[in-house]
């Protein structure tokens, strides 16, 4: 069974641009969560999607958005990039997103903003 | 707000036991987790414990939970150089959101 895949693995953008990251969950998983990992702030929850609906949202500005498609694949978008958006963006999938579901993480997309 | 704290660094010799500690603040947490992250990689779930348990053992890993003190620990027996990584504890609150600690970098010396 294939794991969670994220594309691209590495990305370099400049300030003011926008970026779209993609996450393909494990087959059969319907919940996809996104996390941002930075040296300063650590791992922080961005949002969770389930059945194409945003179910939970972390404390990030509106420049960060996401969506989920009918096949459970998810994308996150960051508009008007800032230097502080440089981070490793991790996606995790789980079956239904309930408390007892294990979350499986992808390898992440490393975004560098210049 | 919720907060999860860990010490930053731990160094042990190969073959010794490692104990990584974590404190959390949300008493309503249902599950507590330990994840491992190797350089350039995502997070790998090592083990978890349900909040009504005190201890869980899984091969070389032992998790201890003290709910009264909101303290969680991960013991790795017979630590190997391949165990060198960053270890994160995390608590799961309502819904599917994980709150992570800052991570403990474990260095295993041969």
Task: Compute the average pLDDT of residues A73-80.
Answer: 98
Task: Compute the average pLDDT of residues A41-50.
Answer: 93
Lowest mean pLDDT among A83-92, A100-109, B65-74: A100-109
Q: Note the pLDDT of residue A1.
A: 65
Contact at CB, A107 and B100, closer than 8 angstroms? no
Task: Compute the average pLDDT of residues A31-56.
Answer: 93
Q: Note the pLDDT of residue B1.
A: 45
Task: Compute the average pLDDT of residues A13-25.
Answer: 98
Contact at CB, B88 and A99, closer than 8 angstroms? no
A20 CA: distance to closest CA in chain B (Å): 19
Task: Compute the average pLDDT of residues B90-110.
Answer: 88
Q: Note the pLDDT of residue B39.
A: 87
Q: Note the pLDDT of residue B42.
A: 87
Contacts of B47 in chain A (CB under 8 A): none
Chain B residues 24-53 with CB within 8 Å of chain A: 30-31, 35, 40-45, 48
Residue A58 has pLDDT above 60, yes or no: yes
Contacts of B90 in chain A (CB under 8 A): 43
Task: Compute the average pLDDT of residues B84-97.
Answer: 86
Contact at CB, A107 and B42, closer than 8 angstroms? yes
Contact at CB, B31 and A42, closer than 8 angstroms? no
Nearest C-alpha in B relative to A95: B96
* Residue A110, number of CB atoms within 10 A of its CB: 17
Contact at CB, A106 and B41, closer than 8 angstroms? no
Q: What is the mean pLDDT of chain A?
A: 94
Instruction: Tell me how far CA of residue B78 lies from CA of A8, B27, B61, B75, B104, in angstroms.
Output: 37, 32, 10, 10, 18
Provide the percentage of residues in chain A whose pLDDT is more than 90: 88
Contact at CB, A94 and B96, closer than 8 angstroms? yes
Q: Give the 3-state secondary structure of chain B.
A: CCCEEECCEEEEECCCCEEEEEEECCCCCCEEEEEEECCCCCEEEEEEEECCCCEEEECCEEEEEECCCCEEEEEECCCCHHHCEEEEEEEECCCCCEEECCCEEEEEEC
A80 CA: distance to closest CA in chain B (Å): 26
| Residue B95 pLDDT level (bands cut at 50, 70, 90) | low
Q: Note the pLDDT of residue A75.
A: 98
A63 CA: distance to closest CA in chain B (Å): 20
Q: pLDDT (tens digit, 9 = 90+) per residue, B2-61?
A: 589 999 999 999 999 999 999 988 777 778 999 999 988 889 999 999 888 899 999 999
Contacts of A43 in chain B (CB under 8 A): 88, 90, 98, 100, 103
Evaluate whether A4 touches A24 at the Cβ level (below 8 Å): yes
């Amino acid at each position: 069974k294939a794991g969670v895949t994220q594309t691209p693995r590495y990305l370099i953008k400049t300030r003011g641009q926008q970026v779209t990251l993609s996450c393909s969950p494990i087959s059969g998983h319907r919940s996809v969560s996104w996390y941002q990992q930075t040296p300063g702030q650590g791992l922080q929850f961005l949002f969770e999607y389930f059945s194409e609906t945003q179910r939970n949202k972390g404390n990030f500005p509106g420049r960060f958005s996401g969506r989920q498609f009918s096949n459970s694949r998810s994308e996150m978008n960051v508009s008007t990039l800032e230097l502080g958006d440089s981070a490793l963006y991790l996606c995790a999938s789980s079956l239904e997103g309930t408390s007892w579901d294990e979350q499986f993480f992808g390898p992440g997309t490393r975004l560098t903003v210049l | 707000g919720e907060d999860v704290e860990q010490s930053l660094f731990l160094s042990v010799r190969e073959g010794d036991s490692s104990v990584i500690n974590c404190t959390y603040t949300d008493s309503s947490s249902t599950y507590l987790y330990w994840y491992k992250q190797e350089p350039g990689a995502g997070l790998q779930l090592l083990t978890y414990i349900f909040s009504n348990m005190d201890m869980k053992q899984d091969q070389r890993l032992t998790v201890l939970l003290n709910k009264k003190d909101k303290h969680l620990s991960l013991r790795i027996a017979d630590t190997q150089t391949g165990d060198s990584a960053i270890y994160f504890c995390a608590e799961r609150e309502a819904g599917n959101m994980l709150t992570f600690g800052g991570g403990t970098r474990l260095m295993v010396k041969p």
